[in-house]
Structure 1
Amino acid sequence: MQTIVLGGGCFWCTESVFLSVKGVQSVVSGYMGGDATSANYEAVCSGSTGHVEVIKVEFDESIVPLEVILDVFFATHDPTTMDRQGNDVGSQYRSVVFYTEDSQKPTV
């Protein structure tokens, strides 16, 4: 099993996409990368915490390789729009990838 953390807009929307990918074992929504020790929806939406909405994707690399996970990620959001995905606007909607293993770094 591998884990990668992805931010590509609203985490509920991104979560629903990855729940349907064969080989994905779990998807958990949350916040990452901010300054506040305790993020909550209201604080993050205020733009004052520096957090981004993310999903933690756990996947079986023998069924779905990291390259496919990233293909799905980049096909389902626009990483070129600064702090925005569709109608969602704010720094919490920026596009980010956090790898969790050094072996993932060359791919991401």
Structure 2
Amino acid sequence: MESVSKIGFGGSCHWCTEAIFQSLKGVALVEQGWISSEKEKSSFSEAVIVYFDPGLISLETLIAVHLHTHSCTSSHSMRSKYRSAIYVFSEEQNALSRQAIDVLQAEFDKPIITTIESFHDFKLNQETYLDYYYKNPQKPFCKNIVTPKLRLLLQQFFGAVDHNKLVEESLSGL
């Protein structure tokens, strides 16, 4: 990859979020764990850092995937653990993220609650839980929670999916 950028996403279980972004063209690496923002330095929530090639996948596409694959309009009781956020590393990312959310709002019936936060810190998950879906696609959590999100990803973002990573066999059985 020529140039790699990074962006953070939080919104649902980091196992789900990791599998979604690992399945996209132009994504070189997904680190799964917990992120804190500049605003809430001591408050970490489940999230991922996505390393991507902007020449192969745009930040706007990554944000669209993120918003459509978690409850970006719901203020449910687990929001402190699953903060709906985009963690930016620059002012340019901040502006692009705000613009993308404004444009994508038309695709949702309720207001998007996803916040844009300046990245502060990251804690990587234990090795046992990294690459969780692709190591364990037949586990009940993966079959019942992650696989339906990956099916949605295939339906809504077929052109952005790396079909060498996300093969139909891993989605069979449901």
Normalising by structure 1, report the TM-score.
Answer: 0.77
Contact 2:32–2:47 at 8 Å: present in 1 too? yes
Greater relative contact order: 1 or 2 (C-alpha under 8 angstroms, separation 6 or more)?
1
Measured in 2, the distance between the counterparts of 1:23 and 1:66 equals: 11
Give the strand-richer structure, 1 or 2: 1
Structure 2 unmatched runs, 5+: 98-174
Residue in 2 that maps onto 1:95: 84
Residue in 2 that maps onto 1:42: none
Structure 1 unmatched runs, 5+: 36-49
Deviation string, structure 1 residues 49-68 (Cα, Å, up to 9, x no partner): x3111100000000001000
What aligned pairs does 1:1-108 form with structure 2 within 5 A after superposition?
A: 1-33=4-36, 34-35=41-42, 50-83=43-76, 89=78, 91-108=80-97
Give the helix-richer structure, 1 or 2: 2
Deviation string, structure 1 residues 22-73 (Cα, Å, up to 9, x no partner): 00000011112252xxxxxxxxxxxxxx311110000000000100010100
How big is the alpha-carbon RMSD for the aligned residues of Structure 1 and Structure 2? 1.4
Q: 1:80 to 1:26 in 2, by over 3 A?
A: same
Other structure's SS at 1:93 match: coil
Other structure's SS at 2:48 match: strand
Contact 1:83–1:93 at 8 Å: present in 2 too? no
Contact 1:11–1:54 at 8 Å: present in 2 too? yes
Extract structure 1 runs of 4+ deviating beyond 2 A.
Answer: none
Larger radius of gyration: 2
Normalising by structure 2, report the TM-score.
Answer: 0.49
Equivalent position amino acid for 2:15 in 1: W
